[in-house]
Amino acid sequence: MKTKVNELDVCVVNRVNASALYVHWSFSDAIQEMVEKMYQKKWNDLAFALCIYDVTGLSVTFDGHQSKRHTLLEVYSNQTEAFLKDMDTNCTYVVDVGVYEHHFFALIRSSRVQLGTSIEPKQLDQTKWSWSENAPQTDYVHDDCFSTYSYYTNEWNKVNQSDE
């Protein structure tokens, strides 16, 4: 059975470069309903924010209270992503997404992400490449309908069953 996006509660933070982060989040229908009942407002009528914590050097499990510093960034109720630019380098961050109605109420937390002084791609020494003229050996039974990304078929009943 496939999990649908509206069934997930997730907050992911990725490093873009030495001073920028990309944050993506989603909330399940169940969380949205719970928050609507708590605040007695529709989801789209609530104010939301990201709380960005600097947890550099903290070795304990972060619980939202012992950060070195934090800041709030207001976001829209229908927003699901944000780029955080001009972040301090050599810092470790955690991001909470939550409701911001008179005070901040965290709904979901990301894992830690560390920014370095610079993130440069590794330089590859091309003299180490060992090229082969022969195609790699495969064990695929259906080579004519397989790709590394997708499986192609005209059997619609199998496609419909996989979506159930």
pLDDT tens-digit series, residues 78-121: 999 999 999 999 999 999 999 998 889 999 999 999 998 754 55
> Which of the pair, 54 or 133, is modelled with greater confidence?
54
Rounded CA-CA distance 160/163 in Å is 5
Percent of the chain with pLDDT over 70: 67
Structural contact between residues 99 and 47, judged by C-beta atoms closer than 8 angstroms: yes
Over residues 14-22, the mean pLDDT reads 92
* Domain annotation for the chain: domains and CATH numbers: 10-115 (2.60.40.10)
Residue 142 φ/ψ, nearest 5 degrees: -115, 65
User: What local confidence, expressed as pLDDT, does residue 154 receive?
Assistant: 57
Kindly calculate the radius of gyration of the chain based on its CA atoms and give it in whole angstroms: 22
Structural contact between residues 52 and 71, judged by C-beta atoms closer than 8 angstroms: yes
Please tell me the pTM assigned to this model.
Answer: 0.68
